[in-house]
Amino acid sequence: MFDDNGSFLLAMFEFFIFFAWFMSLFWIFGDLFRSRDLGGVAKTLWTLFLIVLPILGMLIYLIARGGGMTERALAAHAEAQKRQDAYIRQVATSNGSKGSVADEIASAKALLDSGAINASEYEQLKTKALAGSAA
């Protein structure tokens, strides 16, 4: 297949160029569909332009909209990070809908101090809260 080292190096260079083009196309389509400032018609026209004339379309897209690609990617990353942090905070600070064990024991102690429950009921609530955290 390869007659000499030159044809092998040329094939490797062609593969690298194809891979770089494919990754660039992937990043551009990702940016295009992540963009909130373009409507459906504009996205359709950009997509058609990138499919019909891929290299020219990529260069024109990078010239026309390349400056905002980083800002859009950073905004999407920040939004995803915010959603992940909220989810982690929700899962880490709650036992279902009840709240933390310390909160449950503190509320049971407040009920005991107010006289709403007696000492045995307080011990039952405390045992139940501690058993719920172990499960």
For 23, 62, 66, the CA distances from 27, given in Å and listed in that order, are 6, 11, 11
pLDDT of residue 78: 94
Question: pLDDT above 90 covers what percent of the chain?
Answer: 42
Helix (H) or strand (E) holding 46, with range, is helix 40-52
* DSSP assignments along 20-41, one per residue: HHHHHHHHHHHHHHH-SSS-HH
- Cα–Cα distance for residue pair 52/46, rounded to 1 Å: 10
Closest CA to 108 of 127, 92, 95, 125: 125
Instruction: Dump pLDDT digits (tens) for 46-74.
Output: 999 999 999 999 999 999 998 889 898 99
Number of H helices, E strands in the chain: 6, 0
Residue 32, token pair as written in the block: 């295009």
73-76 long-range contacts, Cβ below 8 Å, gap at least 24?
73/31, 73/34, 76/34
Which band of pLDDT confidence, cut at 50, 70 and 90, is reported for residue 42? very high
Higher pLDDT, 2 or 47: 47
Domain boundaries, the chain: 1-93, 97-135
